[in-house]
Structure 1
């Protein structure tokens, strides 16, 4: 049996105006393979692009050259939520799944010649986890190592809990990307109010954003047996006890479905489609996501 894919296909569905050559549709003219129009040899003195047949047909008798559209490279960024709730997980923590995503992004960007980097946040910008964009072959492992480091990446879970809003941390982390044309994977469980999320995303008007929603099966499916269960809030560490019964399990599932619908509707209003991760990252499913986006 073949092993799971470790990287995925991605391509922007819109043209990018960057200047560095790459694999994405661009707006600039250059040594590409997509024909745009003809121009006179006088206005574009490039004899290598001379089109003899078009020149012979030109009514003004001008020598014509082909004008081609250049494919360009686009920086790829991972905006990683490292708040305390991301440390939750039954088999593996959501932070470990996020590290798998980071490795896949690095491998995918390297394959097509794009630079990749990472910003991170909890209730504040985590500058200690930032990885500058690089075309290095091992950039994905560098990002994953920052997320896998329990002493740095989960400060919010081991006693340095902040009472601020994670959206404030996200806005601060994304500030450096404002106005840039790039691809951003916004990875989080989105267990925070969405009321202020527009303030963080609005500056990224030129950015193609992929919301990656990471949930653990233990969050979405209640325990199957009736009885007393002890629960701990992943963000505040507050503990509570509930008596599990069929009616409560139905309410649990209804709340998960409602939250899923709320997130889907929020991103749809911004013209975005979230990518859902349930317990493990699937690179093939991410490729299908981009195939559909570019269809």
Structure 2
């Protein structure tokens, strides 16, 4: 990839997101949080005995109180959260991504980083292939320019190696405090592995992003020889594609996707499908519709 394209970086998009439930924290931010605060929407009036803060006395409400008590304004607490991306970089994630200037995974993760920093939250990245990728890790930060840094790191990192054990173990690196976690993977793993991964994330709000390619699900030839290659093991195989095999192939791909959603819904939310390219508007619609 040319240096000019690398310096240009991905297109920027503002993405709406929110934490299910209330955040816990004292750092001011934009998310509804536990307790009362001074930076949120007005909630109700309370007695000064409940909130002994003379700065919030409402004289009009106090004069209208038939019992003659002093009333203070109580506001909703708003706090900052941490936004994590847990990224799968095993070999199967390389399909259809190598050498692309518009790599969909790099663009989505960069967009999440951009949105987090603009929203006064902290962004962090944890990546794992066969082993944890410490060279790609980004600790929670609000640093300007982190979105460009993320894109530059990931645009040429398409994944290699076999297995998701390190991805599952990487889930333990997340903090104890509730965070929003985007899990970006093709989820080509056993159901037991998927359940273990989601189980380790139980204390967080988890938004799965399923990386898919239409080339292996919809754009299959009706007849002819097709060479397949396992990106994790490197094994190649020649297959004679015909109508019955094509139909079974597509049916199994759809059944696998439906099975993933069944697991995701057990842990709180459906997934976003990242198919071929990153579409900011479609991702924003997912976030607004209650996906996150």
Structure 1 residues 92, 260: closer, same or farther in 2, change over 3 A? farther
Contact in 2 for aligned 1:13/1:294 (Cα 8 Å)? no
Q: What TM-score, normalized to structure 2?
A: 0.88
Unaligned runs of 5+ in 2: 1-10
For residues 272 and 123 of structure 1, what CA distance do their matches in structure 2 show? 27
Structure 1 residues 91, 169: closer, same or farther in 2, change over 3 A? closer
| Helix, strand or coil at the partner of 1:89 | coil
* Structure 1 range deviating more: 58-67 or 125-134: 58-67
For residues 101 and 202 of structure 2, what CA distance do their matches in structure 1 show? 28
Structure 1 residues 146, 5: closer, same or farther in 2, change over 3 A? closer
> 1:196 maps to which residue?
193
Partner residue of 1:147 out of 143, 154, 171: 154
| Helix, strand or coil at the partner of 1:181 | coil
Structure 1 residues 193, 61: closer, same or farther in 2, change over 3 A? same
Q: What TM-score, normalized to structure 1?
A: 0.87
Q: Does 1:26 align with 2:33?
A: yes
| Helix, strand or coil at the partner of 2:135 | helix
Q: Does 1:134 align with 2:148?
A: no
Structure 1 residues 223, 290: closer, same or farther in 2, change over 3 A? closer
Unaligned runs of 5+ in 1: none
What's the C-alpha RMSD, in Å, of the aligned pairs?
Answer: 2.5
What is the CA-CA distance between 1:104 and the residue it aligns to? 0.5
Structure 1 residues 90, 72: closer, same or farther in 2, change over 3 A? closer
For residues 65 and 200 of structure 2, what CA distance do their matches in structure 1 show? 47
What is the CA-CA distance between 1:261 and the residue it aligns to? 0.8
For residues 202 and 120 of structure 1, what CA distance do their matches in structure 2 show? 18
Q: How does 1:34-113 map to 2 (within 5 A)?
A: 34-89=41-96, 96-113=103-120
Q: How does 1:110-259 map to 2 (within 5 A)?
A: 110-150=117-157, 154=159, 156=160, 161-162=161-162, 165-166=163-164, 168-259=165-256
* Structure 1 range deviating more: 179-188 or 203-212: 203-212
For residues 172 and 99 of structure 2, what CA distance do their matches in structure 1 show? 31
Structure 1 residues 132, 5: closer, same or farther in 2, change over 3 A? closer
Work out the number of aligned pairs and report it.
Answer: 283
